[in-house]
Structure 1
């Protein structure tokens, strides 16, 4: 710790783990629980939407969403998220973390409810309003990324900061799990209460009118955890680092943190003078000085997040083939519409329990021991290995006799994504940039990730297309499209491994040490004649 470190920041860095740390994790983490629930619950009900609104009377098959509608319903929230990450990231540095933090929750609550109330009788009207509200839902979700990460990093002590930030992000796993469990409960209730008669053999008979309530309830439930957290977000004080280093009000920062830490912290006059003299002499975002100090760091955090999300979201799209092949999701014509929601939710819940959630919490447990750099390298390395192990002998794995091995390797790619770059790409941008740029730079990095998610979603669908519609005995597409897709994903993970070397290790260091703000204070003190404290 620099001897010039401001007292209040020194107190935060050296503070013992206290109840306020866990309170901050819960308050920030519930936002991420809601984010994950809202983003991923749409995949549980897209098939139901097709059966309700796009079934053709007299058709022997259940309806399905047209490709363009399906892409819009699934992808519009990503577009909103990307926009929200950039806008709220910038706004969080301009106005303060706390002033903006509640606004993101308001957007999520209102738009979650509005998504479920999507109005109209014609399919175009329902899908149009659904896409409109999901864009703005994504906009609010996007704001939660930089703000939650920045707030948690600025509240935490330096010994366990990585675990605290990773714990906030790990709530995403519980959000995915919670979405699956809630969909199982709702679909079970409706299936038992409004089950189609056993003699109904036409697909229309399997889609009872009450099925329209199922998807609406599932989407609207996402408003509840966000609403429950709103009051506590308003009660949080502004972070001391923003108040001291950006707003330049050292007395207010000391007062706020004295209440939080339950200790007396005084702002020394010499420290306050040094902070105030620095105002107006700082380099700007994307200035030559910023590029010299942090240009490669920002490139590293943005590119690694971009590459990760191409691979991560592409993997998610392939799940439906695996679920169908191992019998978790039978053919649609054998199930009622509500029963299909149950089967899809059950499959997602099993994957979350066995792979997604454990991966997140391995990162929480080990990030401050192993370090961010090692975990990210390890994650990209094993994701590369498993992708190539699936792709090169693809025709061997997709036979029914070897399907269990395929599923195990495929699940391990999810485990090492979460015990790896899916967590560290969220943590590192909240630690290595100066306080006045921290939220903006995290928003830029996160937006690059969402751009990767969109590239992955549409790119994978294009690469995996195959004109030969026959299936192997395991139910997988036999052609070269999926195999080539897995090879491409392996190459992308390998590139992520290489670009990780642009990202510095922040384990055990203060935020000011990582960002160079300690050195800036020393230079200001030496040039102005202010004594060291």
Structure 2
């Protein structure tokens, strides 16, 4: 039973949807717009990097990035993201959400520009510099995950909180789409302005000197949306939940939210003082009480995000390889280097329009009606179905007349990833943990996801290689092939369904009700526990 409800928190939970909600979505969401642009735009230019820098440098296959270089270019930002999620998640609980919120954006702006200005006298030098700056780009991106999710959840009312937090994350879809559009525009401009010959004898034959500008411009463009929102991010007040429940300053919390909500709110300092001395409001992350109350919740949020990102990031970062394997992208000898960027970006835009973006916004529309648990379980189920649907009859899909069907199935996989666990794994950790540990726990959960992304990115590159040496990329060891790689991803999604049972449903409840911060110590149950208790108490 709830006790000592703070007036400022009650006002936030009951607030009608106002302009400040949409402002917060845009301010927080533009960070994720930039995140997605920066993380996934690299997929559009990796082939171009191979043609520019690895033509006559002893590469196993001229015009192609060597395996270790490809892994570094695609995976280093994910490593930085994991580190940033853990560091800024912890820092957001120690110093406050707002104090470190602008720092993540500043890092992203600087590293985006620096990535495009990567320098060196040799190909190795340029790629090493690029990887260095992309690590720090990922570090800034990582900080945006726990901070944006926590800020939005603590600003929102309890009836539409899921939609607001999901809308912040849905900006990722627009970021992926924007990345594809920028790549299309830049490659088109350069392809028309500087006509390059087709790839004939070697990679150098398909290049013009201006090709080096293409990937640099595409990567630097990621700084623009982040820079545009920096001022407004600095103007946001600290969240009332952090100020009242963690900093214990009821007066400041009431003052900040009175301006935001445009209503008079009593400070309630005496209630804050009573809440602060309760044992269930003082346990730490590594305490027995946390393990008892939230241990399974944290296991659930970490494992589901980990399993999701293995499939999601491997599919997203290596779309170009999947399209090539089914023959949807022509071989390099039929395209010049810049036109290849255009073709890869075109495929990314089509998938984003048909599957990725709609999936995100279906979640926004239905998450507060269907609930987080149902959407996550449904998403994992259909991702499993479509992955097996692609994998089992894989030879059927590789025929020229069936490629459209493959792309439809592939787009549906992304649709149910985003109208499913890719959105809900972001939302739930921002709701179910105590305010003083909320950012930290979200950072741990999202870092588990990035660990899965790293495994997916690194593992997919090798596993998808054919056993037949004549059919795999030079320099790569034998893998299990694209067909069985898709089977593994299907099994991964299936496991995600089972671990979803550890995650509680948070629809329609206040954050304090979910975390037990204004209660006598009772904790919220997992869905499996809820079902078990419901069966025990059901009338006969």
> Does the Cα contact within 8 Å between 1:60 and 1:202 map onto a contact in 2?
no
- Mapped pair 1:451 → 2:451: yes
**Cα-to-partner distance string for 1:153-205 (whole Å, 9 max, x where unaligned):** 00000000000000000000000000110111111111111113689976424
- 2:199 and 2:480 map into 1 onto residues whose CA distance is 42
Bigger Cα displacement from structure 2, 375-384 vs 398-407? 398-407
- 2:198 and 2:137 map into 1 onto residues whose CA distance is 39
Q: Any residues of structure 2 matched to 1:40-439 within 5 Å, and which? A: 40-56=40-56, 63-196=63-196, 203-278=203-278, 282-317=282-317, 319-324=319-324, 328-439=328-439
**Cα-to-partner distance string for 1:408-457 (whole Å, 9 max, x where unaligned):** 22221111111000000000000000000000000000000000011112
**Cα-to-partner distance string for 1:323-378 (whole Å, 9 max, x where unaligned):** 33666532112222111111111111111011100000000000000000000000
- 2:44 and 2:454 map into 1 onto residues whose CA distance is 19
Bigger Cα displacement from structure 2, 223-232 vs 197-206? 197-206
**Cα-to-partner distance string for 1:122-173 (whole Å, 9 max, x where unaligned):** 0111011111010011000000000000000000000000000000000000
1:383 deviates by: 1.0
- 1:366 and 1:59 map into 2 onto residues whose CA distance is 50
- Mapped pair 1:30 → 2:27: no
Name the SS of the counterpart of 2:355 in structure 1: helix
Q: Partner of 2:529 in structure 1?
A: none
1:404 deviates by: 2.9
- 1:239 and 1:408 map into 2 onto residues whose CA distance is 42
> Does the Cα contact within 8 Å between 1:328 and 1:347 map onto a contact in 2?
no
- 2:466 and 2:486 map into 1 onto residues whose CA distance is 14
> Does the Cα contact within 8 Å between 2:112 and 2:219 map onto a contact in 1?
yes
> Does the Cα contact within 8 Å between 1:248 and 1:275 map onto a contact in 2?
no
1:385 deviates by: 1.4
> Does the Cα contact within 8 Å between 1:60 and 1:203 map onto a contact in 2?
no
- 2:112 and 2:520 map into 1 onto residues whose CA distance is 44
- 1:269 and 1:346 map into 2 onto residues whose CA distance is 57
- 1:484 and 1:442 map into 2 onto residues whose CA distance is 33
Q: Partner of 2:491 in structure 1?
A: 491
1:277 deviates by: 3.9
1:206 deviates by: 2.2
- 2:197 and 2:301 map into 1 onto residues whose CA distance is 55
1:487 deviates by: 1.8
> Does the Cα contact within 8 Å between 1:81 and 1:139 map onto a contact in 2?
yes
- 1:371 and 1:277 map into 2 onto residues whose CA distance is 34
**Residue segments in structure 2 that go unaligned for 5+ positions in a row:** 473-477, 524-540
Name the SS of the counterpart of 2:519 in structure 1: helix
- 1:397 and 1:479 map into 2 onto residues whose CA distance is 20
**Cα-to-partner distance string for 1:21-46 (whole Å, 9 max, x where unaligned):** 00000000000000001111111111
- 2:60 and 2:90 map into 1 onto residues whose CA distance is 52
RMSD over aligned CA atoms reads: 2.5
Bigger Cα displacement from structure 2, 345-354 vs 386-395? 386-395
Q: Partner of 2:463 in structure 1?
A: 463
Bigger Cα displacement from structure 2, 311-320 vs 5-14? 311-320
Aligned CA distance change for structure 1 residues 263 and 483 (closer, same or farther; 3 Å): same
**What is the TM-score of this pair, normalised by structure 2?**
0.91
Bigger Cα displacement from structure 2, 410-419 vs 265-274? 265-274
